[in-house]
Amino acid sequence: MQLDPVLVESAVVFGMVICVHYAVWNQLSWCCIALAVQAFYVQHKWDRLIRTGAAVFQFRPSANSGVLPASMVLPLLGLALRGHCIAVGNIYMERFAMVITVIGMMLALFLSLIALGITRPVPTNTCVIAGIAGSAILYTVKQTLTVSEVIEVLEVLLIFVYLSLILLYLLPRCFTPGEALLILGGISFIINQLIKRSLASSGNANADPLTYFLPVALLGLVLLGIFFAVLFVFMESETWSASLFFHTMTAVLGLGLLVPWLTLLTQHHPITWLMHFITETNTRLWLIGFWAALLLLAVVVVMHQNSHRSAGSKKHQASTSVRKYFHLLTVLTFAPGLALDRPLLQLASVVCLSAFLFLEFVRYFRIRPLGPPLRHLLTLFLDERDSGPLILTHIYLLLGVALPVWLTPASCTPKEGLGGAGGLVPYAGVLAVGVGDTVASVFGSAVGEVRWPGTKKTFEGTATSVFAQIIAVVVFLIADSSINLNASYSWVVGSITMVAMLEAYTSQIDNLLLPLYLYILLLL
């Protein structure tokens, strides 16, 4: 009897849930466990809907629904953050972390209700379990959150509903249900926080502009993408006039809306502040020059690989080793930034994400002059996960290594930094994706012989991945004096091993899922 990889993936996620609740236990912990149980049952209903083609939207094929691993990310993240906020006595951030936990649970419940509502015949047992979990969550929320916090949860849920209806219709086969929950839920939360802060005050001269660049840029790109996706349904996008209109509207949105919005929020002109920020130290100039050299090297690799395709078969695709080469470049980009200047790295990653998304719009809409060449160049690096109209693999890679940097709670971090395994929290993406996933894939395909039951992944690849991440931790300890693991070595090794097992069995986007789970475990 062949082992079902979904069951092993679920067992690993349940193990992580238990680890979190072992370290952090409060009134919401029972709700998280109930949510995990009902998400496990609902996941199998979604899997059946996807296999039979009965799902409401077209989800990414050749992958399970991923409801359980995606449903637990935000609740566990909120619980882990709350523990650190309590330790430093930050009451506001403690409440904020609790809101994050409840938002994650409510989004997961909403997704579960959709699945149960369209499943035929109606799964009675699953509905009962979901009802019990939902009742427990709603009762606990009533006893825990204030009225304003409940309203905030409902606002995020409303934005999530509208984004799901729009983006899942416009972008078929790009996401699994779990990936849609994770990505659209995160976007909804960021947009709601931006709107809330914009309405709360007309500006704060002491506000750090860095905290606003990501939400403002993300909202602008979402608006740009939705606007042109609807517009180009009615007009041809490949003409020079349409391309001119696209670039003009992008400039109007950026200079006419986003720049004034940032100025209003921070009381600093973003361009002036940006120039001062970049030239503040010589280290920043050296880092920018180093990153520019890596960018040039990446372009050379893309052009070189496409020259081989032009000379050979049209069906030629880049090998796993070549694709993982970009993971190595990501490590070389992020590791020096984490050790030398994290604020600059945070800003640079936001700029890079904005550039990636903008270029993907240009490629998708065939905007001249770069659209057609980009479509030709990037198809070489497609894999089975890029089955929809968008190419998202490189964006997921950037998100995977950048999210731990963005999520590190500055207001809940002591001046001497997070102690123990928490010192490695900003490195979670580099470890899980840049080192672990790369080594597992390269060594597994090259020398792997013993496969994990039910998967194509190999034991040799996973074991080498764990070993490589441990070596990387040692290197980070030497290079970054702020890291002091104390007596938490066993917890670090255990966390890395659990995430490596998740990588071996998950069919979700590992570039996005693995760093978040490693981040949560290290934060404990």
Alpha carbon distance 149, 358 (integer Å)? 34
Higher pLDDT, 114 or 378: 114
Higher pLDDT, 322 or 139: 139
Q: What is the pLDDT of residue 16?
A: 92
Over the stretch 464-476, which tens digit does the pLDDT of each residue have? Answer: 999 999 999 999 9
Q: What is the pLDDT of residue 69?
A: 94
Best CA proximity match to 334, nearest among 277, 381, 400: 400
- Token duo for residue 246: 């696209």
Best CA proximity match to 494, nearest among 19, 10, 66: 19
The per-residue DSSP string of 445-473 comes to HHH--SBPTTSS-BHHHHHHHHHHHHHHH
Q: What is the pLDDT of residue 318?
A: 63
315 pLDDT higher than 60: no
Q: What is the pLDDT of residue 308?
A: 67
Q: What is the pLDDT of residue 216?
A: 92
313 pLDDT higher than 70: no
Neighbours of 231 (CB within 10 A): 15
- Token duo for residue 478: 């030497």
319 pLDDT higher than 80: no
Alpha carbon distance 56, 364 (integer Å)? 24
What's the burial of 305, exposed, middle or buried (CB within 10 Å: 0-12/13-18/19+)?
buried
Alpha carbon distance 365, 521 (integer Å)? 40
Domain ranges of the chain: 1-204, 209-371, 413-523
How much is the average pLDDT of 29-52? 87
Q: What is the pLDDT of residue 416?
A: 65
513 pLDDT higher than 60: yes
231, 259, 361, 367 from 251: Cα distances, Å: 17, 11, 14, 15
Looking at the chain, the whole-number percentage of residues with pLDDT higher than 90 is 35
485-507 exposure pattern, b = at least 16 Cβ within 10 A, e = fewer? beebeebbeebbbbbbbbbbbbb
1 pLDDT higher than 70: no
pTM given for the model: 0.93
Over the stretch 353-379, which tens digit does the pLDDT of each residue have? Answer: 999 999 999 999 989 888 888 887 777
161 pLDDT higher than 60: yes
pLDDT tier, 480 (very low <50, low <70, confident <90, very high otherwise): confident
Higher pLDDT, 343 or 316: 343
Q: What is the pLDDT of residue 415?
A: 66
Alpha carbon distance 41, 38 (integer Å)? 5
At residue 521, what is the residue type? L
How much is the average pLDDT of 8-26? 89
What's the burial of 427, exposed, middle or buried (CB within 10 Å: 0-12/13-18/19+)?
buried
Alpha-helical segments (H) within 254-388: 259-266, 270-278, 282-311, 320-340, 342-365, 371-378
238 pLDDT higher than 90: no
Q: What is the pLDDT of residue 339?
A: 87
498 pLDDT higher than 90: yes
Q: What is the pLDDT of residue 207?
A: 67
Rounded-to-5 percentages of helix, strand, coil across the chain: 75, 0, 25
Q: What is the pLDDT of residue 186?
A: 93
Mean pLDDT of the residues in the chain = 86
